[in-house]
């Protein structure tokens, strides 16, 4: 099996798109950092991400626990065939890292990797919001991403440093092999009645606090809805 590899890096400023008074909500004006461009050369990766990489919604995106968003390149074949959308290519999901030989089954919460000078650690799966749906004019795209399991994941940065595309991603430590991204997604989205699993995942100390908090609420009988996240102002 080939080793994990960082194929391309994507960075982008917040961009405004759409028409202010459009009748169709999917065509209305909005802004996002999902529109990213391929970056080259030595790039400085800080505790909160790359310089010149921006997010529009700082409440739900960005920050130390979402410093880098990674997405497997191989998923784009699936999306191109399923959605028949010409623009569904690398970078389309708003990822910073387009990766090879990594996916939701082989990457685990707490995995610590060295890439270039930086050391990064997996913090959580991505929970897709309404913005990919707005970008590609597909109302239920967030749900399709979530239900397919092809969500990608986030890294926190343990050691800042320069990185560049076409670099190996070296696994240094795997403290929670039982908690793959796929397994975490299943507990959060598909096994909501299994409180034992929710308790076990919430006990994973390297899982992002936002995930642990939501699971702890579930254990207290409080379940948050997903309508606002997956549809937002698109409906």
Q: What is the pLDDT of residues 95-136, one digit of tens each?
A: 999 999 999 999 999 999 999 999 999 999 999 999 999 999
What is the predicted pLDDT for the residue at 1?
A: 60
Name the band, by pLDDT with cuts 50, 70 and 90, for residue 149. very high
**Is the per-residue pLDDT at 11 higher than 80?**
yes
Q: Which domain holds residue 199?
A: 5-234
**Is the per-residue pLDDT at 94 higher than 70?**
yes
DSSP per position, 94-146: --SEEEES--TTT-BTT-EEEETTEEEEEEEE----SHHHHHHT-TTHHHHHH
| Separation of CA 134 from chain center | 17
What CATH number does residue 184 fall under?
2.40.33.20
pTM: 0.97
pLDDT tens-place string over residues 159-189: 999 999 999 999 999 999 999 999 999 999 9
Among left, alpha and beta (phi > 0; psi -120 to 50; other), residue 2 is beta
| Domains contained in the chain, number | 1
Q: What does the radius of gyration of the chain's CA atoms come to, in whole angstroms?
A: 17
**Burial grade of 186 (CB within 10 A; 0-12, 13-18, 19 or more):** middle
Under a CB-based contact definition with an 8 Å cutoff, are residues 126 and 95 in contact? Answer: no
Q: Say how far apart CA 95 and CA 11 lie, in whole Å.
A: 8
What residue ranges in the chain does DSSP mark as E strands?
A: 5-11, 15-17, 30-32, 37-39, 43-46, 49-50, 68-72, 97-100, 112-115, 118-125, 153-159, 161-163, 167-168, 170-173
Under a CB-based contact definition with an 8 Å cutoff, are residues 85 and 76 in contact? Answer: no
Q: Say how far apart CA 95 and CA 73 lie, in whole Å.
A: 10
């Amino acid at each position: 099996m080939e080793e994990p590899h960082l194929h391309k890096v994507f960075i982008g400023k917040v961009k405004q798109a759409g028409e202010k008074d459009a009748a169709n909500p999917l065509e209305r004006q909005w802004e996002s950092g999902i529109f990213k461009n391929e970056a080259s050369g030595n790039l400085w990766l800080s505790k909160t991400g790359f310089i010149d990489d921006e997010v529009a919604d700082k409440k739900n995106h960005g920050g130390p626990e979402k410093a880098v968003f990674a997405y497997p390149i191989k998923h784009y074949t699936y999306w191109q065939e399923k959605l028949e959308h010409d623009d569904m290519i690398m970078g389309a999901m708003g990822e910073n890292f387009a990766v090879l030989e990594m996916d939701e089954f082989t990457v685990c919460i707490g995995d610590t990797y060295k890439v270039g000078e930086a050391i990064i650690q997996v913090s959580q799966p991505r929970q897709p919001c309404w913005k990919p749906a707005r970008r590609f004019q597909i109302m239920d795209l967030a749900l399709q991403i979530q239900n397919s399991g092809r969500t990608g994941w986030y890294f926190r940065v343990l050691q800042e440093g320069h990185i560049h595309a076409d670099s190996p991603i070296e696994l240094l430590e795997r403290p929670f092999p039982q908690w793959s991204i796929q397994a975490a997604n299943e507990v959060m989205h598909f096994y909501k009645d299994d409180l034992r699993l929710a308790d076990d995942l919430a006990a994973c100390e390297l899982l992002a606090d936002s995930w642990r908090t939501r699971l702890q609420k579930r254990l207290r009988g409080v379940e948050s809805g997903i309508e606002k996240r997956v549809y937002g102002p698109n409906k």
